[in-house]
Chains A and B, each alone.
Chain A
């Protein structure tokens, strides 16, 4: 244990929050657990920032977050991808508050300190007021310590240390490869705009739900077709605990379908904030222990007929987003879950489904399609991160 400040505020020690087949309600309700998730998970591991097609050209940028940090992810004049803390080094305002755009420079409106799109401080008004030891080269925007892409998905890590992105993704890489390979040219892009949702509940409800075939026939009884439901009921396919991420694999029914229908393919929950399924890239933004935002891009496949892509988007709009025939019920159940868990009358949630029938295959624990093997794998990863010593956040660009 690390003995940092948040630990003393924990209602119950972290190690006691998970046991075989069960999770303690404090995991979702204790603000001190949330604080620790921000420092031990989001400040440390690889966090999804953007798809490369959101910032295709030199100077393009997107603003997002890593845990509690406002972040700019962009391309510099050479087209290289970087990410910076969106905070002026002088007094601290965000230097950019557009969601997307193109900029050679980021200028703080407060005192006009100006940074180029590589994050370097290039302009300070009336510099003669500063002493001889004032060194602009040490006052650039703070870099996110590591930025890397895999299959077009850009991730950032606040920690200079730890596994590489490829090691972090582990076995999920082959699913990301397969996702991109749905396009005949091997390239995907995203439509302009986002589906933006918010719920009053813990962020991990969404992670569980992104790989939870068990709920589809129940919660989504009003939206799912009988043909799609058969996938979840027939027992084919598998749920997989894969290097700390969650996978539901329905490729027994076929590869990821070009029309993004609920048939073959797979769902991925890439811990801690990325969900990839059907025609969507979902980003999970934890706001507070009981507040979460979901920002979703709609994927289009290069090399397929425009009508096919358009139908994918229409289906996505119909089923997901705040008004979606599937997702409205998910958002609502997340709020009901938080309300129930806020009661201290019951401490433990059941996560035991499939414990007695899961098995190791190809190095990963596999469960039946409706089981909770993938959730147990994510929470084992959660526990490992929450109890590990946390490398410090990189202080400044050097």
Chain B
């Protein structure tokens, strides 16, 4: 279990690094084709088909979202937000067959428009082992501010 936990933490840090360094296409490659990237609006303990979300992307949508950021015309992201994210309080539940459910706390700090904005979040994942790596089958980012009015947030959580 200690090794599994270490593996998962390493995977989460790697994902955080890709996002913080703007390597969005490499980040996208972490996801399985049927994955969902979800940022709920409000508590998040709801069916996203019955309630509005901040983001609810399948992989086609996420690819479009990322391509737009590289288009040169995504003006809210020119210059791109700079982000640092600390991943902590990692809990791992092994489902077996190479699938784990992960809960962690993310402290995301965004610098944009000369302002620092703190986005604390509880993040849950379903991760699938793929050789030495882990692929994301599901990522849900439950922002502490999920029900508050948010400023432009075109970066990736």
Contacts and interface: CB of A to CB of B under 8 A. Distances in A.
B65 interface: yes
A342 B17 CA distance: 38
Interface in A297-340: 297-298, 310, 313-314, 316-318, 321-325, 327-329, 331-333, 335
What size tier do the contact residues of chain B reach?
Answer: 20 to 34
B150 interface: yes
A196 interface: yes
A199 interface: yes
Q: Which of A293, A313, A323, A324 has the most CB of B within 10 A?
A: A323
Instruction: Classify the secondary structure of A's interface with B.
Output: mixed
Contacts of B46: 192-193
Contact of B51 (A192, A222, A223, A333): A192
Nearest to B43: A193
B39 interface: yes
A112 interface: no
B50 A317 contact: no
Contact of A293 (B52, B71, B149): B149
A332 B41 contact: no
Interface in B23-57: 39, 41-42, 46, 49-57
A197 interface: yes
Interface stretch (B8-16, B73-81, B82-90, B127-135): B73-81
B152 interface: yes
B57 A191 contact: no
Contact of B151 (A99, A199, A317, A333): A199
Instruction: Classify the secondary structure of B's interface with A.
Output: loop
Interface in A165-215: 191-200
B41 A195 contact: yes
Contacts of A313: 49, 52
Contacts of B148: 196
28 contacts: A191-B50, A191-B52, A193-B51, A195-B41, A195-B52, A197-B149, A198-B150, A200-B151, A222-B74, A293-B149, A297-B52, A298-B52, A316-B52, A317-B52, A317-B55, A318-B57, A321-B41, A321-B52, A322-B149, A322-B153, A323-B153, A325-B74, A327-B152, A328-B74, A328-B77, A331-B76, A333-B76, A335-B113
Interface of B: 39, 41-42, 46, 49-57, 61, 64-65, 68, 71-77, 113, 147-154
